[in-house]
A and B are shown apart, each in its own frame.
Chain A
Amino acid sequence: MSTAAAGRRWRRPPVLIKNRRTRWLVYGGLVIYLALAISTVEVNWLRVYEGLDRGWRFVQGFLAPDFVSRWKDISQGLAESLSMTVTSTVVGVLLAVPVGIGAARNVAPMPIYLFCRAIIALSRTFQEVIIAIFFVAMFGFGPFAGFLTLAFGTIGFMAKLLAEDIEDIDEAQAEAVRATGASFPQLINYGIQPQVMPRLIGLSLYRLDINFRESAVIGIVGAGGIGATLNTAIDRYEYDSAGAILLLIILIVMAAEYSSSHVRGWVQ
């Protein structure tokens, strides 16, 4: 050890921006912009005060949920949502499988790949609510529009993840199946399906969760189901019924979550 090393100062070198002046400019600019942006948000404090009151009534409704007085509407909405969820997931997954295979670079030829990727992009560009508004405008209020919306969303979601999974397979297994003289459908069935099946099942269950939650949201724009019931309850200031609906949604989502993680562990 040389004595020259003693007392030598050390500071951590700057992480993102090396130059001292640009660092101050960038950080200072950000702070000023943030301050200006916040000052443009107008707050009506009187309205906020009233809102607190309403919020409190909502919380009270939630604490004393009323399942009984609107039970007919609630049960009908739930049944509608559940059937919408199940049918749209099944149809969406069935349609997503061929699209997903076509969108996997290692199995599909270029034109088919591009076509399937375009379908996925289209399905994923628009948020469910926007698609729901579109389908409600086309086919009228009710669960049919909701079914179409969720099925459409499911295609993009499942096909994209399935395609990525197919691109990640162990190619050696597929090569061995190809070497036996297998045809294309046989290659998919023997070389690829066994490798992606557990994840496909897991994702389908996950999508079932998502579709149920989405069904509550798109109901608000008129696509039927429990969302429509919830919307009506809030519009009528019936927070006790709304609380009951929210509790039911939470319970169902939790049940779906719990059972799907169970099934996923079992299919591995």
Chain B
Amino acid sequence: MLRLETLAKRYKTGDHALKGVSLEVGRGQIVGLIGPSGAGKSTLIRCINRLVEPTGGKVFLGDLDLTAMGGADLRRARRRIGMIFQEYALVERLTVMENVLSGRLGYVPFWRSFLRRYPQADVDKAFALLERVGLAEHADKRADELSGGQRQRVGIARALEQDPELLLIDEPTASLDPKTSRQIMRLIREICEEQSLPAVINIHDVLLAKMFVDRIIGLTAGEVVFDGPPGELDDAVLTRIYGAEDWTAMQTAAAEDAEDAAVAHGAHGRHAGEGERSEERLAGLA
């Protein structure tokens, strides 16, 4: 489905961010990309849809060579790749609905997007997706009125509105609390399974990665140093990826934190807890 051949990126500053990464992602496979800061994770997924221009190697989506494309072809390829961002990257002053519909920009002519006259099928799909991520009643709110977890749900709906064949997900939980992080990862996982969508997820939280992905790729200094199922990710491998650290103690502590969080929120339902928090937020603003 997605195939990278010796993908390389050297920035103008001389940083060699990617040193010939080759890998293949099959249909419906969820890949977690882990590695220390500056390992090239973010560069790697941005090279796939060419938000960052690779300096060597090739990217294939199906049979299409994305690296050989330019202009309109590239835009047509990009619309098949949904992307979800770290800080949500919603257009803050637009409404939730406009943000979701912006997933159709690659499909509709300029005048339709300019006048917000999207084809009915696109609007139906957008409403269905908002329903799916639990935000149906927020369609006409401005994106900056939502809480972090809600914004990321909008980000997910926007990516799915594209009818993607592949999801690129850049640190989806980096600005979320532990509980919301798990909810978002679970939602992503469910959606990928429903549509057998492959996904590449940059994620710095190793525990979360082990919980929700099928396969883990460890990136260090622009090179793949581990590629295997989450079960094989032991202390030795973590040391190979991140360098020496007391992994066992860290994981025990993190597990305890997660349990505490679960107990603290145990009384609330999954969505109810988040809804309440966002209401508090809005009340605080008013």
Which A positions have Cβ atoms within 8 angstroms of B? 170, 172-173, 175-183, 185-186, 189-191, 194-195, 197-198
Contact = CB atoms under 8 A, between A and B. Distances in A.
A103 to B, nearest CB: 22
B90 to A, nearest CB: 7
Contacts of B87: 172
A175 B89 CA distance: 8
B252 to A, nearest CB: 35
B105 A190 contact: yes
Nearest to A180: B105
B197 interface: no
B162 A176 contact: no
A11 to B, nearest CB: 47
B41 interface: no
Interface in B76-99: 76-81, 83, 85-87, 89-94, 98
Nearest to A198: B93
A183 B90 CA distance: 18
13 contacts: A172-B85, A175-B85, A179-B81, A180-B83, A180-B158, A181-B75, A181-B77, A181-B105, A181-B162, A182-B105, A182-B106, A186-B105, A194-B93
Residue with the greatest number of chain A CB neighbours at <10 A, chosen from B78, B105, B110: B105
Given A176-B83, A178-B51, A183-B110, A190 B92 contact: no
Contact residue range for chain B? 20 to 34
Nearest to B103: A180
B92 A173 contact: yes
User: A interface, by DSSP: helix, strand, loop or mixed?
Assistant: helix
A183 B51 CA distance: 14
A177 B162 CA distance: 12
Contacts of B80: 181
B130 to A, nearest CB: 17
B150 interface: no
A172 B175 CA distance: 14
Contacts of B155: 176
A178 B91 CA distance: 12
B202 interface: no
A112 to B, nearest CB: 17
Interface string B182-198: 00000000000000000
A194 B81 CA distance: 24
A173 B92 CA distance: 8
B110 A194 contact: no
A189 B113 contact: yes
Contacts of B105: 177, 180-183, 186, 190
A21 to B, nearest CB: 46
Nearest to A176: B89
B79 A190 contact: no
A195 B94 CA distance: 9
Q: Which of B91, B98, B104, B155 has the most CB of A within 10 A?
A: B91
Contacts of A191: 91
A195 B113 CA distance: 17
A170 B144 CA distance: 13
A266 to B, nearest CB: 14
B94 to A, nearest CB: 5
A5 to B, nearest CB: 47
A189 B105 CA distance: 11
Interface in B134-175: 155, 158, 162, 168
A94 to B, nearest CB: 16
B110 to A, nearest CB: 5
A106 to B, nearest CB: 13
A195 B114 CA distance: 15
B89 A172 contact: yes
A180 B79 contact: yes
Contacts of A173: 89-92
Closest 7 A-B residue pairs measured CB to CB? A181-B106, A181-B79, A176-B89, A181-B78, A182-B105, A194-B93, A179-B83
B44 to A, nearest CB: 15
A34 B155 CA distance: 65
Interface in B50-83: 51, 75-81, 83
Contacts of A197: 93
Contacts of A198: 93
Nearest to A185: B110
B78 to A, nearest CB: 4
A173 B94 CA distance: 11
B90 A176 contact: yes
A180 B106 contact: yes
Contact of B113 (A175, A190, A194): A190
